[in-house]
């Protein structure tokens, strides 16, 4: 069994495509069940954030599994295979592991170093676990990825500024408001509206409070949830916060300097009419002539794109945050984080490869034990006069000889398993001692790991660049820059050219 990754992220696709592929929390179990209906897929985990949708699957055959994943994603998004090939990327075996570790470390985020992705990976794993769609492989992989992410954030300064999509968006809003006022004495953001009372809403309200906002309104479909979040912010930060429903949205926007929209809704929750009504009321609210900055952090987008064309309105969205200097961590911290990821990847792959040889070693020792027992029985028939102490001493002597003969090769084959092509040594043992693979697995089935040993060249992945009969990867489009350092970790040769 090997790990297959199929993903679309802010690096490979525009926001419009991400919106179509986005998977809500209530849709995730259904899609995972559809993935598991394929005979080629035994485990599956789906990570869906405002910047990425990634499927991690444990598969026993690359091409059928990739085709199954492509069909599920295509049906969900309404996109054709050709559309998907233009924006998706695929990783397999050790390259899939490397990618997940990189994502968990915050190195592949829109805002490099942000920590929200750790919680999102954890939630994806917990959902998969509760849905019984994970087994040993994804359990170990997800747990190790979370440990890698925590280590990176603990041992490097990659997140020392507390960067997140929210913080970068609010810094952009401050810049726009300060430029409009021309004054550095007054805080640029005095009042704010946060649309959404979920995790992102909580993060936005906390950031706004730390930025010195004096009053805030939380808007949510369920007013009780908005009031609960408002009460927490008031208690923790000592500022005026209240919770209201969507009926009050235009009125509270009229009083606001900045609006942060971060709901999980599908489709716009702030329409052009809402913004137009708010602008019309700004004169009576004392904000006449002052711009309204709306930070749209939802995926799909929470704000009707047409709102950005209204005079006096600035919309800061995820697409606009790409490439901003604030979103990039310091180079030294990034290099340190990548070094940690590389070391953890090597350790993980070594452990997996050593685990893969364990069934063969166990089968060899069992074969030796069977031979010893057979010879002891043969000895008893030839020398029936041996008493029990003599028989026991002979048996112990034979077993010691066998154990000593097997000790060096079995220890050495485990060591060699972690080297390139290390699986060949276990294969040689099976051939030399006529060990059947099924027998090895039966002796130590729980010890099986990534059966392909991470050697992509062995699986014929990139034969002419065609990854499936359905054409899911007819070119280097199914790649993502900066993740695979060499051709035998990526899918096609064109990936290196992209780097």
Cα dihedral 157, 159, 161, 164 in deg (nearest 10): 170
What is the model's pLDDT at position 105?
Answer: 94
Catalytic pick among 31, 50, 256, 321? 50
pTM beyond 0.85: the answer is: no
| 258 and 283 Cβ atoms separated by less than 8 Å | no
pLDDT single digits (tens) 261-293: 988 777 789 999 999 999 988 866 556 678 899
Residue 463 has pLDDT above 70, yes or no: no
> Distance from CA of residue 445 to its chain's centroid?
28
- The first and second tokens of residue 146, run together, are 């979370």
* Annotated catalytic residue 50: yes
**Mean pLDDT value across residues 177-204:** 78
125-145 pLDDT tens trace: 999 999 999 999 999 999 999
Q: Identify which has the larger pLDDT, 24 or 161.
A: 24
Question: Which of 12-16, 46-50, 132-136, 264-268 is least confident?
Answer: 264-268
Give CA–CA dist 283/194, Å, rounded. Answer: 21
> pLDDT per residue over 337-366, tens digit each?
999 999 999 999 888 877 777 778 888 888
């Amino acid at each position: 069994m090997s790990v297959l990754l199929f993903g679309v992220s802010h690096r490979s696709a525009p926001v419009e495509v991400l919106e179509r592929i986005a998977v809500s929390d209530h849709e995730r179990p259904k899609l995972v069940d559809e993935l598991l209906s394929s005979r080629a897929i035994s485990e599956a985990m789906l990570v869906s954030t405002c910047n990425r949708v990634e499927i991690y699957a444990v598969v026993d055959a690359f091409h059928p599994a990739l085709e199954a994943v492509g069909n599920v994603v295509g049906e969900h998004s309404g996109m054709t295979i050709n559309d998907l090939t233009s924006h998706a990327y695929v990783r397999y075996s050790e390259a899939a592991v490397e990618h997940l570790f990189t994502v968990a470390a915050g190195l592949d985020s829109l805002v490099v170093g942000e920590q929200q992705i750790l919680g999102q990976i954890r939630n994806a794993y917990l959902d998969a676990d509760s849905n019984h769609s994970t087994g040993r492989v994804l359990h170990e992989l997800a747990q190790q990825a979370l440990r890698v992410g925590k280590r990176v954030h603990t041992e490097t300064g990659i997140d020392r500024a507390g960067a997140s999509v929210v913080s970068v968006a609010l810094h952009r809003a401050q810049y726009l408001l300060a430029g409009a006022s021309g004054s550095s004495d007054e805080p640029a953001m005095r009042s704010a509206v946060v649309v959404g009372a979920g995790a992102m809403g909580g993060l936005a309200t906390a950031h706004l409070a730390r930025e010195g906002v004096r009053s805030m309104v939380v808007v949510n479909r369920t007013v009780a949830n908005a009031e609960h979040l408002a009460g927490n912010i008031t208690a923790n930060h000592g500022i005026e916060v209240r919770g209201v429903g969507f009926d009050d949205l235009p009125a509270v926007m009229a009083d606001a300097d900045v609006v942060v929209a971060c709901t999980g809704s599908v489709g716009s929750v702030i329409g052009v009419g809402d913004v137009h009504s708010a602008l019309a009321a700004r004169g009576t609210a004392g904000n006449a002539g002052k711009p309204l900055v709306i930070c749209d952090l939802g995926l799909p987008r929470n704000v009707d794109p047409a709102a950005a064309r209204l005079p006096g309105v600035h919309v800061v969205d995820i697409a606009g945050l790409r490439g901003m200097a604030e979103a990039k961590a310091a180079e030294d911290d990034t290099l340190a984080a990548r070094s940690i990821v590389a070391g953890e990847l090597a350790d993980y792959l070594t452990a997996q490869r050593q685990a893969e040889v364990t069934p063969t070693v166990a089968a060899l020792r069992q074969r030796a034990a069977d031979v010893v027992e057979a010879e002891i029985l043969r000895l008893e028939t030839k020398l029936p006069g041996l008493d029990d102490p003599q028989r026991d001493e002979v048996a112990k002597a034979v077993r010691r000889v066998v154990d000593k003969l097997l000790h060096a090769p079995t220890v050495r084959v485990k060591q060699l398993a972690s080297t390139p092509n290390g699986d060949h040594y276990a294969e040689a043992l099976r051939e030399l001692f006529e060990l059947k693979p099924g027998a090895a697995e039966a002796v130590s089935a729980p010890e099986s790991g990534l059966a392909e040993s991470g050697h992509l060249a062995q699986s014929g992945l990139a034969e002419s660049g065609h990854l499936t009969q359905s054409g899911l990867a007819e070119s280097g489009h199914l790649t993502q820059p900066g993740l695979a350092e060499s051709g035998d970790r990526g899918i096609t040769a064109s990936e290196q050219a992209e780097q």
